Amino acid sequence: MAKTQAEWKAEHDRLMTLFDQATEALKQYPGVVSVEIGIKETGGELTEVLAFRVYVERKVAESELAPSEKIPDEIFGVQTDVIPYDVPTLTFNEDKFRPLKGGIKIANDKDSGGTLGCIAQRNSDNTFVVLSNAHVLLGGYDFSETGVEVGQPHIRGACCCTCDEIGEVVAQRYDAVMDCAIASIKSGITATSFIRALGGSGSDSLTFGSNTAVVSSDLVHKVGKTSDRTSGRIITITHPTTAVASENIPARIRQILIRPDTGTTFFQEKGDSGSVLVNADNEVIGLMWGAYLNPGNPLYGHGVACPIADVLAALNIRIPVGSINTGEGPAPLLMADPQLAAEQPDRLGLIDYLQMRLAETPRGRALLHWVDQHGSEMLNLVNNDRAVTVTWHRKQGPAFVAALGRSAKVPTYVIPASIEGVSRQQLVMSMAAAFAEHGSPALRAAVDQFALPLLQILQRSDTLDDVLRELEADRSLEWTVLLETES
């Protein structure tokens, strides 16, 4: 039976009380480079055991070691795991995105660039900034500089001017704990708190503030400009990395080490540096800066991130919760998928298209009346109530909306029965419960009336046309009565 996150945390806290003592003892053995607390691996597979992971210069067969040289299988009652050490490599969608969002390419005028992690907010004046690595925003410059211009996807030079600048570096930190920097956002450049493709199935998803990384069985994710969305598990949050003088990389402590999920070779590739690490609640927990890319090493494909709490403190910033407004209005929640607008008929937004179709029938007009009464409150809850927002994204709301858009464009396109393990029915039931708990009495009463009829329609429908035909069908008696009551 898999451990709960609380059980993982309790065990990790217990090992932390022994960590310094165990590190000192284990470093007495020849060839030991460093020690961390992390998940023990056996035969290349993760176990449910936390251990002291011991990195050595090279792994030697027991037969070649004297008894006094052999690292014990257990120390202070905790298992050990011996691993050959490696050196992480710094890692760097070529598309232009406006408004800005996380998971897209960013670069200065001297370097190949990396990834815009997410939009953050300065505590000093509440202005919005872009968050990435110092080696991304300042590549080719001294890491102590500010004022360096950055562009998205890059700065394009012409004979008389430069294009696509979005701002300039205003703060940075590059040391034994973190590799981070922020850049201002120029007037006229809009930004959102979405991260491209974070929601799975191609849909964008919002960030919901920040939290502390923990070792557990839960999957974490990142979206980089090279490898897009990848999933993995945090193996350790006490990972030490070795200095690489030739690349000006200092040795670092207390880093987050992420193993790629089954079926994925790399959690991070070159070009992904600067992407943010997020947990299952879309909270930012780390800032990716490197990856192990040496084939044959046990850490091959693993990614490395610095803890987000250190980054936020060093740069005096915070990660916004939910949607943000940078002067052009909040990002439209129902248009999260960048492909959606191009796939809809005559380039209409999905909402406009649905309004047009629903207005063609009496029951459709009654439904539009119901949405007119309660839609603003529901949208406000999804955008601004943390519990409702988290439910919307965890239950793949943006991905299902994107699928509706595709079905509007191609009538034969079948809306998936489930996305990322979440069914249409689960989305409706979860959102109904969230609206009932956090909404007004009027919304609660409306949800109680409409949840079951909507579930019945979804069970009988595979396309958007099916949904619209169900609304027109005489057999939807309960639905019809409710609509007529509302209207």
pLDDT confidence bin for 476, thresholds 50/70/90:
very low
Of residues 318 and 480, more confidence is placed in 318
Sign of the dihedral through C-alpha 39, 41, 47, 51: negative
Residue 287 pLDDT: 98
Distance CA 135, CA 129 (A): 17
Highest mean pLDDT among 193-197, 311-315, 358-362, 466-470 belongs to: 311-315
Q: Is the pLDDT of residue 263 over 90?
A: no
- 188 band by pLDDT with thresholds 50, 70 and 90: confident
Give the residue among 268, 278, 225 at the shortest CA–CA distance from 106: 225
User: Which domains can be identified in the chain, with CATH numbers?
Assistant: 5-85 (3.30.70), 87-329 (2.40.10.10), 333-486 (no CATH)
pLDDT the model gives residue 429: 86
Asked whether the predicted pLDDT for residue 486 surpasses 70, the reply is no
Q: End-to-end alpha-carbon separation of the chain, Å?
A: 52
Comparing CA positions, the residue from 318, 323, 289, 319 lying closest to residue 306 is 289
For 120-124, 219-223, 303-307, 322-326, which range has the lowest pLDDT when averaged over its residues? 322-326
Residue 331 pLDDT: 37
Share of the chain above pLDDT 90, in %: 41
Q: Is the pLDDT of residue 159 over 60?
A: no
What would the two tokens of residue 202 be?
């191609």
Most distant CA atoms of the chain, gap in Å: 86
Lowest mean pLDDT among 143-147, 197-201, 382-386, 442-446: 197-201
Q: What is the mean pLDDT of the chain?
A: 83
Per the model's pLDDT, the better-predicted residue between 401 and 184 turns out to be 184
Query: Does residue 478 have a pLDDT over 60?
Result: no
Selected residue with higher pLDDT from 36 and 66:
36
Length of the chain: 487
CA–CA–CA angle 257, 91, 223 (5° rounding): 70
Query: Between 139 and 345, where is the model more confident?
Result: 139
Percent of the chain with pLDDT over 70: 85
